[in-house]
Structure 1
């Protein structure tokens, strides 16, 4: 690490390290709340704005697609900034780009320009990428006994914004009307404010930088004797190839996200085909989001107590139960809802345990880029799943879609069982 930190980590006393870690986690939680609110607000109205600009329902899905694409596009560049200069510049830049994107969306909507609107949504994806990368910063100074917990708490903080954001449409509409903008742009104003505030808070409060302190202090997060990694955007690929546990972590994260997106994307369509009221569909998706985030601290605690690989394997079991229940539910709204809650919980198991395992499976030097690569593949998996889910639903029905999604758990199960067999199913550090 060539950039000096504001506080050298060498010989850092445990009490001091623990104090810095608490400050880091609290800062990250705060930025996740305001940034998550920005994301939730835009997700609530992005498709509606796209429909109004084009006059077509067919184009409305492009809003979310562009955000997902943007999250994938910015994952590696933001990770590269973190690798060169630390978490603080990388996260602050990502939030700032998201705020700029929201401003572009507002201007494009007022001018009724669809192409710039889509470009703005891609930039908003930088905010989504930042929201994901914040969880990695929570692991930089964490000890092995609390790494899963600290990471999961930062993931949990997203719940606040994810729940509040979509409920700001009414308030946002009044704010937009007061400044002479279309009512649908009210939540976009909150998106801009949330992302910009996230950038400011990160820049001011994330000091000293946890990645720089951790790297200089030898926290033992990564593999200290690994060979140096070239500083290129995909430099982490070589190190992942040398670490079977890193491969398992990335496959687990990507597969869990792919299963979740494939089923969740088409659930509202399936329910509407069976005559479900919009309020019921909304409640189902809200409970699904709660399953994703609300129980993540429990998942983190289990990850620290039972081991990374066992919890990752258990997550695949939860996902399989979810698709089995949802896929055979038919028009039973309660069963579909239960399946979606379990789908969110299985995603949480995969994300928290996989991210924790990845953080301690590669060297300190390669870790930020490997984490960026993981987020890139995760978002590409989600985007691909969302793109093909409609086709699969049309051809094979909702049950066939769930069966298709279940197939993505198989490589994770094989790799996890192999890892447990190789290490005897040991404890936290072994598994």
Structure 2
């Protein structure tokens, strides 16, 4: 009798391709360096405006400008990525952000508001690039790893983003030694970080992940593709009848039965917008609120550092939750969390650094939950042939929401105080939860 060796069970999912591993490594390296530039405007932007414009009511203008610049940057970078690939798009975006950062330094040194405002707008291109890079991490990822891939890119920005606010005093000393006002210091760091990231991406992001993803989909599936369901170019796996753990990044089991890509894209976009608007408004005015209550730049930098860390550090866990449970339950949780954070900020005494820091930290966690889950829904809804430009449009909406939140935050504090602003942010944030739950019910019903 011939003994047949026992069949080896195939792994449930194929491993990451070498190209995907290289893409993630390059993106992670660029994000580690560019993260420091991401926080310059957040930490000192409002303080710069208050100092140079002489009004607390106008302190939200820098946030509105660099998020407006992020909007224009996302539109231009998205279109460039669509037609030329991720490498030239992301590389140019960081280079423009570095140029804007140097413009801010020059404006502060010369005390020229006329130069400060357009420079903040150009600086926003770096912020847009930093966020758009997450989509590049998902280009070559298989569906069951998509949220974790983009989360890894987001996480990489943590080191520089957390270090940036804590280097306010140090970079201020460097700027002062060069004869530049101390508040320009963080923008010197931003210029260096963005320029280095541009060089890394331009030199090393090869092959271009978006071009390769399109080529794999266009290529006919070979015989070996049947051994790797879900791999690029492989036949689609059988559809499952409904949502469940690991069913897909958008929580729909098959990408959203009975719902076209348009409604799914809109759902993902609104999840991100309703988290971005109140988070940016609260984040913009909390440093001003702390300064008005006698706290120095060291304390403000620490609070903002905790907020930034909370925006990015939970990314691996968030990505795992989205891949396992679906994006919509995670999005619903983001609304509840952000609402609670805003209410805590409203109730906290102005001299309580601990409570305000806790509120801003929770707001960062909530933003992360909403951004990763919303991005996962958008990515699952778009084919690679038109993904880059549409992803850019999504981040345009994200920038518009942030710009509006930053602009209105100063006016709200001037009119009704910080507590009024925080309560309004809580109301807006809570809208995410019914939106996500309704979308989840709509996807379960046809199945």
Q: TM-score, normalised by structure 1?
A: 0.82
**Contact (CA 8 Å) 2:94, 2:194: kept in 1 or not?**
yes
What does residue 26 of structure 2 align with? 27
Deviation at 1:286, TM superposition (A): 2.3
**Contact (CA 8 Å) 1:327, 1:399: kept in 2 or not?**
yes
**Contact (CA 8 Å) 1:41, 1:168: kept in 2 or not?**
no
Deviation at 1:183, TM superposition (A): 5.4
Deviation at 1:189, TM superposition (A): 3.2
**Contact (CA 8 Å) 1:148, 1:304: kept in 2 or not?**
yes
What does residue 198 of structure 2 align with? 199
Aligned residues: 397
Match of 1:313 among 310, 332, 339: 332
Q: Following the alignment from structure 1 to structure 2, what is the Cα–Cα distance between the partners of residues 297 and 271?
A: 31
Deviation at 1:178, TM superposition (A): 6.4
What per-residue deviation string (whole Å, max 9, x for no partner) do you get for residues 268-327 of structure 1?
344455666665544333222221111111111111111111111111121122223333
Consecutive unaligned residues in structure 2, runs of 5 or more: 1-13, 218-230, 237-258
What does residue 79 of structure 1 align with? 78
Match of 1:407 among 423, 427, 431: 427
TM alignment of 1:273-284, pairs within 5 A: 279-284=298-303
Consecutive unaligned residues in structure 1, runs of 5 or more: 1-13, 225-239
TM alignment of 1:146-185, pairs within 5 A: 146-173=145-172, 175-176=174-175, 185=184
Q: Following the alignment from structure 1 to structure 2, what is the Cα–Cα distance between the partners of residues 384 and 83?
A: 27
Q: 1:419 to 1:36 in 2, by over 3 A?
A: same
Q: 1:172 to 1:262 in 2, by over 3 A?
A: closer
Q: Following the alignment from structure 2 to structure 1, what is the Cα–Cα distance between the partners of residues 438 and 307?
A: 31
Deviation at 1:363, TM superposition (A): 2.1
Q: Following the alignment from structure 1 to structure 2, what is the Cα–Cα distance between the partners of residues 44 and 403?
A: 23
What does residue 210 of structure 2 align with? 211
Higher gyration radius (CA): 2
Deviation at 1:392, TM superposition (A): 3.0
**Contact (CA 8 Å) 1:42, 1:191: kept in 2 or not?**
no
Q: Following the alignment from structure 1 to structure 2, what is the Cα–Cα distance between the partners of residues 399 and 181?
A: 35
Q: Following the alignment from structure 2 to structure 1, what is the Cα–Cα distance between the partners of residues 20 and 176?
A: 43
What does residue 9 of structure 2 align with? none
What does residue 300 of structure 1 align with? 319
What does residue 114 of structure 1 align with? 113
Q: TM-score, normalised by structure 2?
A: 0.79
Q: Following the alignment from structure 1 to structure 2, what is the Cα–Cα distance between the partners of residues 259 and 42?
A: 17
Match of 1:372 among 385, 388, 392: 392
Q: Following the alignment from structure 2 to structure 1, what is the Cα–Cα distance between the partners of residues 45 and 416?
A: 29
**Contact (CA 8 Å) 2:341, 2:362: kept in 1 or not?**
yes
Structure 1 residue 66 corresponds to structure 2 residue 65: yes
